[in-house]
Chain A
Amino acid sequence: MRVALLIARREASSYFRSPIGAVVLSGALLVIGILFYWKGLTEKLLSSEVLSEFFYSSSGVVMVASLFLSMRLVAEERQTGTLTLLNTAPVTDAQIVAGKFLAAFGMVATLTALTVYMPLLIFVNGKVSLGHIAVGYGGLLLIGAACVAIGLFASALTESQVVAVVVSGGIIAALILQWILAKAVDPPFDSFLVNLAFHHTNFRPFQQGILELQGVAYYLAVAFLFLLGATKVLEARRWK
């Protein structure tokens, strides 16, 4: 854990020494703010609906931001040759993956934390449940963690950050579209595919302030699966 935190600290500091951290954070906050104003403050909605719309739009922005924050994690190190430093130190591949995941997830958590003022603004002219806010943010963090894991996996596959972001975007798009695919298949496969849907099925309860174990387990499972995949890709690269 000590080594993973060491790698995470270096990785996190590099976000702020290059434009990527500031650009992604400021860009994401700007888009979330505009969407919040547009959906929440210009339409006549109940306070809980405003909050629900906020989490809906924020989840999309968090997904995209996660991909841009994670695309460089391994690809850049491989491209510049610095991965050799980690590969030849007494550090396991799992520690490398854990450190990099923690750094990118820390950035996603920072992004979501910086949006807190928006739900709080609802209290000026309305009233929402704090539980709804907490569950919604829990959902944002979970979907962010899953996206970072997918991005990290894609980054481990290639030297190109562009390829990494395209691959991870493709994986997420495929997972999102499972609910459409479900309409084209017969039972019981349709319900199986619906339950795999990345956003439609599994994020909607969080968005509405409902904490469902299925959604928590789903995002944790996706994150674990892709982090394991990233570890295996790093291990396999030692043969090449």
Chain B
Amino acid sequence: MIEISELYKYYGQRRAVGPISLAIADGEVIGLLGRNGAGKTTTLRILACDLLASSGTVKVAGYDAVESADSVRANIGYLPDTPPLYGEMRVREYLGYAARLRGVSGKDLELRLNDVLAQTGLVAVAGDPIASLSHGFKQRVGIAQAIVHRPKLVILDEPISGLDPAQIKEMRGLIRGLAGQHTVIVSSHILSEISETCDRIFIIRDGEIIASGSEQELTAEADTGDRLQLTIRPDGDLSDLAALRSLLEATDGVSDVVIEESTSGEWQVKLKTATDRRALICQRVVEAGGGLLAIVRIARELESVFLELTDARVGVLSEPGDSGEEASA
């Protein structure tokens, strides 16, 4: 469906994207994951023929994005990060306009309008002015205009941005529902959005694809070394935090030590080791008189892979609850 070869985009002297080379098969749901400014939107705009690349080739459904731009445009539906909506138009009227622009007409138009309104849950607001809709409904209208002409490729740039949790859940279902009928590319800096809706993920940093694969493949690929979580009771030579920290950091192969004091007076320690150092760590803590209550391996999550790959926070293993904030920071 998509073949990108040696794609570069420069803004003046600054390289925004490139080199990017990738291939995406029919029917895949692809996630493009990267921090703000990583080059996601620029890449998608080039794919959608909204922007011309500085060099390289992009082929969609066999058509070159420069030489046969109109054929490419006829095969894509694009939702930019700001949905292109005319506030004064009514939902059905707007979708009709978007469909006619893509060459849909006659009886087919009515059928497709009815289908897309039902598919995106917009039937109840079909006659409402777009300006009067909530943010969630506006996003739905944005997706509806991208699929009303049944394109082969649907490109969604940050479709979940700004939605509340209930709307996010609905939007995920909607995006998953597009799988099979369309090839879908979703960009986001929100990890949970990508991991729950996509078959394959491309991680982009500084305009380059630095990793790709399924969630499991990415996690396994980046999983070098162990992440350990220890529960220690202050005692003996380890009665203060500084002593514990210096003991752990002096242990060969240990890095990224993070210590938090729990309400029960115990210390929760998270750290990273190059190889299996559990026995050594246990021995040193016990020899220093500390009360070692527990030591467990932490399963790697996509978020920590993402943060490491994109040079995010070093030395802090993320908590499940703060993934969105970390990623969008």
Contacts and interface: CB of A to CB of B under 8 A. Distances in A.
Interface size class of B (residues with CB under 8 A): 20 to 34
A90 B86 contact: no
Contacts of B222: none
B304 interface: no
Contacts of A10: 86, 89, 97
A84 B86 contact: no
B101 A89 contact: yes
A90 B74 contact: yes
Interface stretch (B75-83, B226-234, B269-277): B75-83
B97 A84 contact: no
Contact of B49 (A82, A87, A239): A87
Q: Is the interface of B mostly helix, strand, loop or mixed?
A: loop
A80 B145 CA distance: 16
B173 to A, nearest CB: 25
Interface in A226-240: 238-240
Contacts, number: 60
Interface string A84-106: 11111111100000000000000
Nearest to B85: A82
A88 B49 contact: yes
Interface of A: 3, 6-7, 10, 14, 17-18, 80-92, 238-240
27 contacts: A6-B97, A6-B100, A6-B101, A18-B88, A82-B84, A82-B86, A84-B50, A84-B78, A84-B80, A84-B84, A85-B98, A85-B145, A88-B49, A89-B73, A89-B98, A90-B71, A90-B73, A90-B74, A90-B101, A90-B103, A91-B73, A91-B101, A238-B50, A238-B51, A239-B51, A240-B11, A240-B51
Interface of B: 11, 48-52, 70-71, 73-74, 76, 78, 80, 82-86, 88-89, 97-98, 100-103, 145
